[in-house]
């Protein structure tokens, strides 16, 4: 380990220094950074509240339950909420099991071979790929190549695309949760004559579950805020669409939208006609949704975290 020399510290006099100017300045700068971060957050929230206030106070219910409409007085986020919910269900159904299963394989079953290391490196790289590239994946594969199965530009294609996006995050957080379980527990169970699966199922997985769930909910919150992949996969970004109603079949095979897309559409429309108010209000709805999810994840962690 290289030794960092502590040369040049200079403040060696024992006399109490009245004005440690440089030190005070640095402290100030550092505190300022944190304060600025908060100010930005506060400004953003305040701007959304101020911007969307009229809609939220005057017609909150109709705003939440109406669909897209060319008339800003009538438009609402309902289709966006619905779409985000549908997408979330698909992500939970697809990405969670695949991600947790992968994590279990890597942590509990796989030997330290080149293949295993390759899988880990691959996951880490995938985690850093920009979300719009996943949109391209969705377009080429889920919409186009698998169009017969997914129905083309449907919520299923969108959900699968988002699942691919969050899969690496789910795997990495689940891995960390599994690793936190002390090895003594595994060793103890195996020494009693349990198989690897029995050990994982009865002891490791239950112990790691709070951490796994926390990570998964955070990943879901991330998926809920994504727009770029959905843009490419064909989520509606227009002003008005009938939306798929009716049977489940029709819903799954029609066009779809989601909260971030709704905000995207409204944000680009001329502010004078009142679209900016709607965009701000919709932003607030989405922010609330995401904050609730994050809060839930943190609550999960604090309540059920095992201290070994």
Partner 1 sequence: MRLSPDPSITTAALPARRQVNFGMMHPETRTKPEGGAPPSADEVIFDVVDLSVRYGGFTAVRDVALQINRRQITAMIGPSGCGKSTVLRCFNRMNDLIEIARVDGRILFHGVDLYDPAVDPVEVRRRIGMVFQKPNPFPKSIYDNVAFGPKVAGTRDKAELDDIVEQSLQKAALWDEVKDRIDDNAYGLSGGQQQRLCIARALAVDPEVLLMDEPCSALDPIATARIEDLMQQIKDEYTIVIVTHNMQQAARVSDRTAFFVTEVNEESDRRTGVLVEYDHTDVIFSNPSDERTEQYVTGRFG
Partner 2 sequence: MVGTTPLTVADLQGTARRMRRDKTMRVVFGATASVSIIVSLLIIVSLTREAASFITKVELGSLWDIGWFPRRGSFDLLTLFAGSLLVTGVAMVVAAPLGLGAAFYLSEYASPRLRRTLKPIIEVLAGIPSVVIGFFAISFITPDLLSRFLDDVSFFNLAAAGIGVGILTLPLIASVSEDAMRAVPASLREAAYGLGSRKATTCVRVVFPAAVSGIVAAFIIGISRAIGETMVVAIAAGATGGSLRNFTQIFDPGQTLTAAMAALGAGTDQVKGDDAAFQSLYFLGLLLFGVTLLLNVISARFVRRIRERY
Residues 81-140 that bind partner 2 (CB under 8 A): 97-99, 101-102, 104-106, 108-110, 118-119, 122-126, 128-137, 139-140
- The yes or no reply on residue 184 touching partner 1 (CB under 8 A) is yes
Q: Which of residues 231-290 bind partner 2 (CB under 8 A)?
A: 231-232, 234, 237, 260-261, 263-264, 267-268, 271, 276, 279-280, 283, 286-287, 290
Q: CA 229, CA 74: separation in Å to the nearest integer?
A: 28
Asked if 182 interacts with partner 1 (CB under 8 A), we say yes
- Which residue's structure tokens are 């890597």? 106
- For partner 2, the closer CB: 109 or 304: 109
CA distances from 299 to 100, 144, 178, 197, 304 (A): 21, 41, 19, 30, 8
Q: What is the CA radius of gyration of the chain?
A: 25
Q: Is residue 8 near partner 1 by the rule CB under 8 A?
A: no
Q: Are 288 and 49 in contact (CB under 8 A)?
A: no
User: CB under 5 to 8 A by kind: which of partner 2, partner 1, none does 260 bind?
Assistant: partner 2
CB of 181 to partner 2, least distance (A): 16
Measured CA to CA, the distance from residue 241 to residue 257 in angstroms comes to: 9
List the interface residues with partner 1, window 193-222 (CB under 8 A): 193-195, 198, 202-203, 207
Binding of residue 196 to partner 2 (CB under 8 A):
yes
Judge whether 110 and 116 are in contact, CB under 8 Å. yes
Q: Is 209 buried (19+), middle (13-18) or exposed (0-12) by CB count in 10 A?
A: middle
Residue 207 CB, nearest approach to partner 1 (Å): 6
Tokens 């979330």, located at residue: 88
Residues 118-157 that bind partner 1 (CB under 8 A): none
Identified binder of partner 2 from the candidate list 144, 245, 250, 273, rule CB under 8 A: 144
């Amino acid at each position: 380990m290289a030794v960092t020399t502590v040369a040049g510290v200079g403040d060696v006099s024992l006399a109490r220094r009245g004005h440690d100017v440089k030190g005070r300045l640095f402290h100030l700068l550092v505190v300022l950074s944190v304060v600025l971060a908060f100010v930005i957050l506060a400004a953003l929230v305040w701007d959304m509240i101020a911007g969307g206030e009229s809609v939220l106070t005057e017609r909150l219910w109709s705003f939440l339950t109406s669909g897209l409409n060319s008339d800003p007085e009538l438009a609402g986020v309902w289709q966006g909420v619905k779409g985000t919910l549908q997408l979330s269900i698909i992500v939970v159904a697809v990405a969670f099991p695949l991600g947790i299963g992968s994590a279990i394989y890597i942590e509990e079953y796989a030997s330290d071979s080149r293949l295993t290391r390759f899988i880990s490196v691959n996951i880490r790289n995938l985690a850093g790929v920009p979300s719009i590239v996943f949109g391209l994946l969705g377009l080429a594969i889920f919409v186009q190549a698998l169009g017969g199965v997914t129905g083309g530009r449907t919520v299923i294609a969108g959900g699968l695309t988002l699942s691919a996006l969050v899969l690496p995050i789910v795997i990495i957080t689940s891995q960390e949760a599994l690793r936190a379980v002390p090895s003594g527990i595994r060793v103890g169970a195996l020494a009693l004559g349990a198989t690897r699966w029995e050990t994982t199922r009865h002891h490791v997985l239950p112990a790691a579950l709070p951490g796994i769930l926390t990570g998964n909910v955070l990943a879901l919150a991330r998926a809920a805020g994504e727009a770029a992949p959905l843009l490419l996969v064909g989520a509606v970004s227009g002003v008005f669409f009938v939306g798929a109603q009716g049977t489940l079949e029709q819903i799954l095979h029609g066009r779809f939208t989601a909260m971030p897309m709704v905000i995207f559409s409204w944000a680009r429309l001329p502010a004078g006609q009142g679209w900016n108010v709607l965009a701000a209000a919709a932003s607030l709805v989405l922010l609330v949704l995401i904050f609730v999810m994050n809060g839930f994840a943190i609550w999960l962690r604090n309540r059920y975290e095992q201290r070994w």
